[in-house]
Structure 1
């Protein structure tokens, strides 16, 4: 059930509350004020906040001969009206782009007399952590546009409750360069360990495109928490072709939140991090 469906289902009940309130000389209760703010039309202001508190996770799935589209996000995001709207808008943009590209390729396939393969976009947002200030989300994306294989990717999102603003994880740091310098050694060592776990020896040949450890700031950074209060965990997601050929797959590298890393955090966010010794 979407947020929109939720408030629409609630309107008859809220309207009844309004009628009862109109027959009473007592001061309106909080519930009556919420009802008055939400009828008629969509919720807004305090009413929107009340409805959002019970909003369920959002999961939209569409499958037909043209496309397969999946876009989901957790209830923690659905319960923040501004964030839910941003994600709904992103979902609409992604679907529109998918349909346009798919229809173009389908028309070309029919004209050329070759089979069309349905295009797809699957994007699942999940909660990494929720602290008093931040909601941290991660997304794994799998897109297919009719080629030899799909195109996996990652995304990240931080919601700052204090500023009611959507951010990227790197926005919390002084610069990408400062971030890279603070974790370069542990990040690069983590890649070598992850490759070894797959039975792959890191390619260090001077002329190899994968010989050099890439900057962590160019990858997808997920920030987490072990205690629900401070950001003290970090994972860096690396897509195919970044540190190896497509067949090697993707990597998720856990990097410790050290004192050096916290020093690279912007002053306004430093108190929200906790280095792990």
Structure 2
């Protein structure tokens, strides 16, 4: 499919990844830097930083009377060809779906004699963390399909450099059930604190769809790192309507990387996690 000429690709938007703290490797030679830049998906730090510096971030934008579409991802992702290809494919899929739905709804509006409101899909991937093994990305997604209001959603992915494979955060754990059991108390307590911070203190009636704390595994999980070496941070993003009415908006709940949670990690990933206790 031919893309409109108003699309803009490869717009640099982020600074290069920083060198890992405490790295004691000697400064690479110019030849080593050039070699590192040619290695797809090379880990961060040392010579491999050059590969990230040379990879422009990717951003496309389109706005017409029919749709508004935007999709971007950072240079750290653009430096990994397989990951960039997946993101480009996801972008094309999202745009095609938006166009198809918009054309259908516009035709229905014209037939029914009521105004059509342009549909939109705005998605921005950002780096959560970039360790020697994992690149963790988060996405915030705003959509509108002609209704009373738009919707907010979230995305997540992890690139495993060792296996050269795209993963979801929960793929690193023994099971969704094991993840939920390890995180439930801190996650549910975090929701209560977040609601209180918004001034929401009334208890929901037992028959309310929002009365129960939902499983964290059913939400969007982001894994991060405080030192660029180990995964030691967890955030659970919750979209509107999941734990409250639309007016409450979305939530981002930070929970500790407890020893219990790390014990729920699959053996092959255990060395990449660092518990807080």
TM > 0.5: yes
Inter-CA distance 232–58: structure 2 relative to 1 (3 Å threshold): same
Change in CA separation of 1:188 and 1:47 when aligned onto 2, cut-off 3 Å: closer
Q: Which residue of 2 aligns with 1:191?
A: 191
1:158 alignment partner in structure 2: 158
Q: How does 1:13-162 map to 2 (within 5 A)?
A: 53=52, 54-162=54-162
Question: Secondary structure at the residue paired with 1:255?
Answer: strand
- In structure 1, the partner of 2:17 is none
For the residue of structure 2 that corresponds to 1:147, the secondary structure is: coil
**How many Å separate the matches in 2 of 1:65 and 1:211?**
41
1:218 is aligned to 218
Q: Distance in 2 between matches of 1:193 and 1:217?
A: 19
SS for the counterpart of 1:192 is helix
Q: Distance in 2 between matches of 1:170 and 1:244?
A: 24
Paired residues, number: 241
Q: After superposition, where does 1:247-262 map in structure 2 within 5 Å?
A: 247-262=247-262
Bigger radius of gyration? 1
Structure 1 segments of 4+ aligned residues over 2 angstroms from their partners:
46-53, 202-205
Structure 1 residues 67, 163: closer, same or farther in 2, change over 3 A? same
Q: Secondary structure at the match of 1:126?
A: strand
Residue of structure 2 in register with 1:13 after alignment:
none
* Matched-pair contact (CA < 8 Å) for 2:40–2:79: no
Describe the SS at the equivalent of 1:265.
Answer: coil
Task: Answer whether contact 1:52 1:81 (CA < 8 A) is retained.
Answer: no
1:37-57 superposed Cα distances (whole Å, 9 cap, x missing partner):
xxxxxxxxx697899652211
**Partner SS, residue 129 of structure 1:** strand
Could you tell me which residue of structure 2 aligns to residue 274 of structure 1?
274
- TM-score, normalised on structure 2? 0.82
Compute the displacement of 1:114 (Å): 1.1
Report if the CA contact (8 A) 1:127-1:138 is conserved. Answer: yes
Alpha-carbon separation, structure 2, partners of 1:211 and 1:256: 24
Compare relative contact order (CA 8 Å, sep 6+) and give the higher one, 1 or 2.
Answer: 2
What is the CA distance between 1:130 and its match in structure 2?
0.4
What is the alpha-carbon distance in structure 2 between the residues aligned to residue 49 and residue 225 of structure 1? 19
Structure 1 unaligned spans of 5+: 6-29, 35-45
Whether the aligned pair in 1 keeps the contact of 2:9 and 2:60 (CA below 8 Å) is no
Q: Shift of the alpha carbon at 1:112?
A: 1.5
**Cα root mean square deviation, aligned:** 2.3
